[in-house]
Structures are given as structure tokens and as C-alpha cells.
Structure 1
Amino acid sequence: MLSIFDRGAPPPAPAPFNLAHHVLTSGAPEPDKIALAILDLSRAERWSYARLEQAVRGTATGLLDAGLAPGDRVLMRLGNDVSFPIAYLGAIAAGLVPVPTSALLTEGETARILSDLAPRAILRAEGVACPTTDIPTFSSADMTRWRDLPPAAYHMGDPDRLAYIVYTSGTSGAPRAVCHAHRAIWARRMMIDGWYGLGPSDRLLHAGAFNWTFTLGTGLMDPWTMGATALIPAPGVRHDQLALLMKRHEATIFAAAPGVYRNLLKSTLPPMPKLRHGLSAGEKLSPAIRSRWTEATGTEIHEAYGMSECSTFISQAPDAPSPPETLGRPQPGRRVAILGPDGPVPRGEPGEIAVHQSDPGMMLRYHDQPEETAQRFRDGWFLTGDRGIMGDGDTITYLGRGDDMMNAGGVRVSPIEVESALSRFPGITEIGATDIEVKDGVRVIAAFYTGPEPLDPEALARFAEAHLARYKQPRLYIHLDTLPKNPNGKLLRRDLARHYRPPSS
């Protein structure tokens, strides 16, 4: 039996279609129902569905009144507040193409995006890095004012047309701009039962910041699509305060990266009687964290696997238990395979995890990179670069990356990008970067370098801070006499980790 999961495709997205319209109207909640609550220990800022839709459609009017037209790209340089999802949906409602980016990117990293995409406008919050440019730039004050403008009509059209662009690290070292269609939100319906177990009465608390794509999708767009309530911690809320917020605000589902669960479990958790289960994605969940969470809360954590090009498509689910050491099963409606050089391998044999290019959540392309786009597809399958095994029960076990990509707190980072930035530091002859496990379930980026003598780690850290977003910066700098290489002189990044010696050894 071959390693293929194919149980039928979902119905196509209706036409005409608009992603923002689908998010804000498909759940059909009461206008006064709370769509969003932003929580801290002393208060909650609440947004009803009516207020949220007014802000989104008012923002669409503001963008159009500023001279933008459907199809124009809009770069988002915004912080961790409600402006982020409102601007994102407002742009899409108007038929524009938002490009959400991490607020942690440096000015230099942002300049490369400007050169790559040539956006027609920039939405920028105070204090978020962005180079000086002649591109029209709108402030937080502008965006706040737009919310009360007369609502624009949703720009309806072909569900296959471009809706938004997100950036992901590329194996070449240059971040890739992933272009997604409006239909991508339609495909996320397969996660509702295949991962979340989400319904209109749920209150989903996501631990991430507004300006993280994991939060944007799982924490906001999907609950709103179902007419549920999204709960987001306010800036400054610590991980050890999240459990109390879940209890006070009766969260029924909790979503977070594995590192957040790890931090929560450092303290004694209060009873959370309304909580049904947790969700985890971004990096592999440690079995120890999973078992400790279940022991502490009496609930399970359901894990999911995916990537920027297709979001999540393999997951565990409340009504579809799978062995905890596996990623879970392909979600109903997905077509997934484990591939070898000649196509799908027999069940039980390792290969590369692939999802079919017909998936409605599949990206349209990498922006302006036709060759790289073509390289990721083979015989109708999108190649993830991750290796796995499919068992007889359709469960998939993760075997790790097939390349050298690193995982920094749930975000994939190219080692070449880190190496290129740090190679300019005086005193470094050669450098190699990889992620290493420093304790159970904790991985950090480490830079291994050669040079005449060991360098000051603090000086290296300051240099990295000036040239790389925080999540790309190494946490360890290790001097070696030589870097491991193959007979042809190619760096063996996977061998770097064996040169790490924990402080206690």
C-alpha cells in the first residue's frame, strides 16, 4: 500500500469571493456578539462583530480614498495591537494586497522587501523600523481615523486572484515572498474539524502577538469565520499570567507554540474548568511537555504541521485521536503523500512529506521567482523539504528536515541568511549556523565560527542585532579551529551540533 492520503476534495470556493467578506460574514453572528477581547489582568478591551466590521470596511475606504486601487501592494510595518488585523482585512476588503511583516525586522531587512515588492503604500506604526522612502506612508493616527469612515463595499472577484503575500525563509538565504489567493481562507475550513474542534460558542485564547501569522490565522481569522470569540493577551502580559486569563475569561481552547506551554508549566496552574483542549504548531511538541500539560490540566494538546505555502494540513484532532509521537493525520479533504525519487513510497518507508498542488490552500507562487516555484513542485506535488513516514492508520511521523533550515521558536530561518550577515564581522574567517537542543524541547540558533582567536560574544550579539531580526539572531557563539566539511569542501551544518558542549560538561 502506497503512502498516499486521498479521501476526496472539498468543494471549490464560491465565486465571486473576498477573503475579508468570508471572515466577517460567514459565521453570521449577532452584531453585538464579542468578536475580540484584548486581555490583561485588570481589564479587557472588547470589539463586537459590528464594530470590527465597521473598522475594517472604514479602513478599506481610507485606503481607496488615499488613491490606492485593487491589486496594489501595501506593506504592513505595524506593532502588536488591533491595528494589525484591521489593516490586513481592510486592505483585502478593498481588493488590495497586504504584505504583513514582523515588527522585529531591521531597517536593512525591510529595505530589501521594499526593493523586492515595490509596494504602492506603507502602513507604519511609530517605532517600527522602516527606511526613508518616497512611498506614501500612513501612520497609526491615519489608520485610527479611517475606522469611522463610511464602509466600503467588499471587492468581490475570482477566488484564485492574489489576496496577500507573506514572507518565509528560503534555503538560498533570501526570504521568499509567498503569494496566496483569496481561496486560502476557504481551505482553512478543513482545520476546523481536522484540528481545532471549533464552534460558534468557543472562546479561543491565542498566546501570540497580533502581528504573527500563526495568531492572525488560528487566533483571529478562523474564530471569526466561525462566529466565535477570539481572546488575545495585551502587550506585556507574561506567559505565567496566561492561565489566570484563561480561567477568568472562560477560554475553551488555548493555542500557543510549544515554548509557551513550557513556560506556563514552570508555575502551578489554576483550575481552568472551561478549557477543552490546547493547540500547538510551529515546531515539534516535546512529549514531556505534552504529558505534563495533561497531568496539570486534564486536557490534551492537539498538534499540527504545516508551512507558509499551505498553512497546516496534517494534525491531531479532538475527535480523531492519534499516537502522541506522530504529527497526526492529513485533515479531511487534503491530499498528502510521502514521496521518494520515483513517487509515493510504500507505507512504513521514509520519504519527503508532500501536499498536492490542487489543495485550495496552496500558494499561487513565490513572487518573481518562477524557477524556485517550479523546483518546489514535482508531478503535481508540493515538496515540503520535511521527511516523514505514513503508517497504516494514515498517521504521519516526523523525521526532521531534509535540508539545513533552522527552527527558531516556531519560525523557520535560513542558516545562509544568518551566516551572510555575520560573515562581515571583523575577525571571522568562516561561519556556520544551525539550531541545537540546549535542553529538553528547547532549541536555539548557534553560530560556529573560525578565526585567529575567540571573539567577544556581546560584540557579536550587538552586530547581529543591527543586521538580523531578533528571531534570527544566534543565542550562542562558538569558536572552532575548523568547520566540518565534506571532501569537496562543503560545510556540513548537521555536524556542527556535535561541537557544542553544554556549560555543565
Structure 2
Amino acid sequence: MPTVSEAFNMADYAIGRHARAIPDKTALLVCDVENPREPLETWTFGELDRAVRNLAAGLAAKGLRRGDRIGIRLGNSSQSALMFFAAMAGGFIALPLSDQLTASELAALLDDSGAAALATADSPHSVARDGILTLSRDDVAAMIARDTDEPYAPTQRDDPAFLIYTSGTTARPKGVLHAHRSALGRQPMYQGWYGIRSDDRMLHAGAFNWTFTLGVGLTDPWANSATAIVCTGNKAPELWPNVIAETGATLFAAVPGIYRQILKYASPKPGALGQLRHGLMAGETPPPGLIEEWTSVTGLPLYEALGMSEISTYISTGPSVPHKAGTVGKAQAGRRVAILAVEGSDEPLPPNREGLIAVHRSDPGLMLGYWKRPDEEAEVLRGEWFTGGDLGSIDDEGYIAHLGRANELMNAGGYRVSPLEVEAALGRCPGVAEVACTEMRVRSDVSIIAAFVVAAEGAPRDASAIKDFANRNLAAYKIPREIVFVERLPRTPNGKVQRKALALPSLVDGKS
């Protein structure tokens, strides 16, 4: 992976340089979803800059040293955003952590990362760990209020900046370590996906422990001197149209499930979304027809992107790349993307051949590596390419189809089947609102494909009709042998479907 020695600090790039040029411009709005018209907090670039540098100085004053990991578990709050950038401003390594983690999960990540400190909204005593400095919200507020004049740490492009934990191919989450240069690696998406402008207001629906939110919701608007909007409160899907309109959001980012829920529960009409110019969607594969339905109902475009924790989004549609059914979009300008054979060669395949989607290792957005996982890191590197486990193909026009994750492929009678292919087919079946598929083991030596279905409102739970539809639209070996009706699909706090949780007994309430 690239190793360029050049002075660069990600926090100074996103905040500091704008504080010097346009200190009074609004950079951050914190709003409550129940009353979004009046912001709870308003921060200018100058105020962000002072707060971030004060926090960085406060961490150093408590004995923390450059390179120390700083755990951040402060929810969707201004403190969370400030601590993320303060860690990088001081030359520490930011470690965003979900507030949904159980005590044992939190302990495992703190131990694996070797965290030196944890800033938390929980009672400090409830999460205290030997050898880890625990900081409360009051501690963070006190450091922000203590004026200092410390500069940004003189970090280099390839110095570690933040560590994100993501689910790997094993049961143990793995840390993805990113460099300060990762902010520069995001530049191709600014026009390749967003069409972002300095007068934009970016509203993101996700949580701050996810690279999708930290990048799209904070880093990118600030890098373009635009305004970021943070929402607190219970984010019921029917509230989003009002939040978008009342905050003046011009760009809205979320996973596909959020857009589907907005259409289902809020039924927005053209003009109901205020100044919104278009929506941005990533995080998982959308159900068939979602983009067309959103555009038809709202009159606004919805641009899709494919990304991963190791590089963020790198393939997308956008104002200059029209949507093409069955594809995610094109490689963003300046990115080198290829399809490699699932096993073996590092030579790119010709168009219309299926294989692993690969990104060239020279991309500045690519991670430094996996935290303390050299074996897993070696598995994803092939010659000059990084392969993150996504399957796909590139057509003659450069559009890329996403065919699922290599480690999520189902085995049906010896055939390898992508869950996305089956879900796309069943998603068109009348009476099906949502569907997700996984491999289900029925005996120690037998696995079948199971489809977990959320029925459309008012539709009967008719497994036979779904199987008949599958028979007409799928090869015999791809047809689910079990149809399981559920009230809802299991999702992460950020809205992504958890296929590994599909077959849990607590989820199943009927099958055929």
C-alpha cells in the first residue's frame, strides 16, 4: 500500500484550514428530530477549530501520547464529532465505538485495540477497565472549555488516524486502520457521487461509529466547506421528510432500508423534502425498483454507491453518471478498479466476466491494514490489487454490477448462489415487502437456501405463491426450500441487513 512521507493532518484539512479562511461560516448543526427547525447547537468552523485543538491539548495533558488509541462512545452528538477529529488533531488514533455494544463486546474491542482512553456517555464506573483512562461527557466539556493555543500535530500522510472495527470473515470483529491521507482518497466521490458544493447542507441518517457516517456525514462536507447536520432523538422513518425540509438539507445520505421505510411510512410528495437536491445511498444492495420508486414519488434523483470500510465508496452513480438498472455505477474518476478471478491470477478479467472487485493499491483512500491481523491482510492483497470480498462484473460501458459478498455465497447442491440474486428475484414477487436470503443448515450434512420475507401490508402470508413465483424466475438450484415469514429483517443500528442473524430462533415466527 502507498507509503508517502508528506506533512498532512486530517483534522486540519477538514476543519483547521477553513477556520483560518472562513471562521464564521456555519459548519455543524445539531438538531432534534422532533423539532428540527430550531437547532440545539450551531458551530462555526472557527468554533470547531478551537474546540478540537482544546480537546487534543486536554488529552495530551492527561498523559496520552501520539499513537494512543482513543475510544469514542458518545452517541450521535457534537462531542462525538469533536472527539473524533480532536484525536487526529493531537496525533492520536480515533477509535469510534457503537453505543449498542454490550459490556463484553466493548471490553473485547478495547482489549484488542489496546485503547489508552475511552470517552463515554455511560457511567464511567460501568465501563471502567484497568489501565484505560475513562472520560465522561463532563470531562470532555471541561477540556473543550479550557482555552489553549496548541497547533495541529505535525503528522504525515501515512500516519495512522483512525481505527474502525468491522465484521470480518471470522466471528471476531477486525480493526481497519486508516491513515490521515484517507481524507484525500475521498476526493473522487465529491463529483463522482455527490456533486457537492460549498453551500450544501449534508444530513446523514447513520451513527458515528461507521465510516459511511464519519466520512459522508462529517469529513466530506467539512472538506468542501459545507455544513454538516447531526440529528438526535428517536429517528422514526416517518419523521425524516420533515427533518430534511426543516433543516434545509440539500443532500441526504442513508442506507437503502431508510429510503424504503420513508416511502412506506411517510409517503412523501414532490416538494415535501424542501431544498433537497438528491439522495445518496450506500451500505447495502437496494431492493429492486427502489431507485425508480423514489424518483417517481419524490421527483428527485437517488444516487447509489458501493463501498467498504477499507476504502469507503469507490463505485457510484451521480449527477454525471446516470443510473443503469442492475448495476451500482462506474468507478469514480481517478480510481483504478478491475475484476479478478476469485482464485489465482492478479490479471484483470475482460468485460462481462464475473469475479472479485479489486481496487489498485495506489489508491490514497485504501486502509493502512488490518489491526494485528497480518494473515487476513495477506488474504486480500493480490499483486498490485486489493480485493475486499465483493463479487461483480464490469460491462462494456464501464458499469459495475455488484453480485454479493464472496463469504456470503450460499451452497445449494454444490452450486454457489449469491443471496443478492435470489433476493432481487423474490423482491419482485407480489405481496413481498422485503426479503433476505441465507444458507440454513437443516442437518449436519445438509444445507438449504432459506428466504426470510416481510409481507407487504395487507398481503397474505402465502409461501406457496412465493415458491411458484420463484419457480418461474429462478433456476431450480436457486429456489429457496424454506420461506420464513418475519415481522422485520434483523438490521444493524445503521440499517444494514444482518444475514448471519436471519436463522436465529427468536426471529422465526412461521415457515413452510
TM range (shorter): 0.7 to 0.9
| Amino acid corresponding to residue 302 of structure 1 in structure 2 | Y
Q: Which of 19, 28, 50 pairs up with 1:36?
A: 28
Q: Which of 114, 119, 130 pairs up with 1:118?
A: 114
TM-superposed CA distance for 1:215, in Å, is 1.5
TM-superposed CA distance for 1:133, in Å, is 2.7
Cα distance in structure 2, aligned partners of 1:333 and 1:26: 25
**Residue correspondence of structure 1 range 337-356 to structure 2 within 5 A:** 337-340=338-341, 341-342=344-345, 343-356=347-360
- From the superposition, tell whether residues 308 and 431 of structure 1 become closer, same or farther in structure 2 (CA, over 3 Å): farther
Contact 1:356/1:382 (<8 A) preserved: yes
Contact 2:118/2:135 (<8 A) preserved: yes
- From the superposition, tell whether residues 195 and 435 of structure 1 become closer, same or farther in structure 2 (CA, over 3 Å): farther
CA displacement 1:62-103 (0-9 Å, x = unmatched):
101111111112122222211111001001000001111111
| Amino acid corresponding to residue 229 of structure 2 in structure 1 | L
CA displacement 1:109-168 (0-9 Å, x = unmatched):
122222222222221222597354332211111001111221421002320111111111
Who is 2:383 aligned against?
Answer: 379
TM-superposed CA distance for 1:430, in Å, is 11
| Pairwise CA RMSD | 3.3
Who is 1:255 aligned against?
Answer: 253
**Residue correspondence of structure 1 range 94-493 to structure 2 within 5 A:** 94-126=90-122, 130=127, 132-149=129-146, 150-266=148-264, 267-270=266-269, 271=271, 272-340=273-341, 341-342=344-345, 343-404=347-408, 437-439=452-454, 474=501, 477-478=504-505
Contact 1:351/1:387 (<8 A) preserved: yes
Contact 2:452/2:502 (<8 A) preserved: no
- From the superposition, tell whether residues 211 and 387 of structure 1 become closer, same or farther in structure 2 (CA, over 3 Å): closer
Q: Which moved more, 1:87-96 or 1:231-240?
A: 231-240
What secondary structure, in the 3-state scheme, does the structure 2 residue paired with 1:232 have?
strand
What secondary structure, in the 3-state scheme, does the structure 2 residue paired with 1:293 have?
helix
What secondary structure, in the 3-state scheme, does the structure 1 residue paired with 2:14 have?
helix
Cα distance in structure 1, aligned partners of 2:445 and 2:89: 48
| Amino acid corresponding to residue 177 of structure 1 in structure 2 | G
- From the superposition, tell whether residues 131 and 146 of structure 1 become closer, same or farther in structure 2 (CA, over 3 Å): closer
Q: Which of 5, 9, 17 pairs up with 2:8?
A: 17
Who is 2:427 aligned against?
Answer: none
Contact 2:96/2:208 (<8 A) preserved: no
Contact 2:123/2:136 (<8 A) preserved: no
TM-superposed CA distance for 1:440, in Å, is 8.4
TM-superposed CA distance for 1:232, in Å, is 2.2
TM-superposed CA distance for 1:250, in Å, is 2.1
Q: Which moved more, 1:67-76 or 1:183-192?
A: 67-76
| Amino acid corresponding to residue 241 of structure 1 in structure 2 | L
- From the superposition, tell whether residues 389 and 108 of structure 1 become closer, same or farther in structure 2 (CA, over 3 Å): same
CA displacement 1:216-255 (0-9 Å, x = unmatched):
1101110011010112222224221111121122221111
Contact 1:310/1:363 (<8 A) preserved: yes
Give TM-score, length-normalised by structure 1.
0.79
The percentage of aligned residue pairs carrying the same residue is: 38
TM-superposed CA distance for 1:478, in Å, is 4.4
TM-superposed CA distance for 1:385, in Å, is 1.1
- From the superposition, tell whether residues 170 and 504 of structure 1 become closer, same or farther in structure 2 (CA, over 3 Å): closer
Consecutive unaligned residues in structure 1, runs of 5 or more: 1-10, 408-414, 420-427, 442-464, 480-499
Contact 1:110/1:131 (<8 A) preserved: no
Q: Which moved more, 1:41-50 or 1:200-209?
A: 41-50
Who is 1:93 aligned against?
Answer: 89
| Amino acid corresponding to residue 268 of structure 1 in structure 2 | S
CA displacement 1:167-216 (0-9 Å, x = unmatched):
11111222111111110011111110111110101111111233433211
Cα distance in structure 2, aligned partners of 1:142 and 1:338: 49
TM-superposed CA distance for 1:429, in Å, is 9.7
TM-superposed CA distance for 1:290, in Å, is 1.5
TM-superposed CA distance for 1:434, in Å, is 9.5
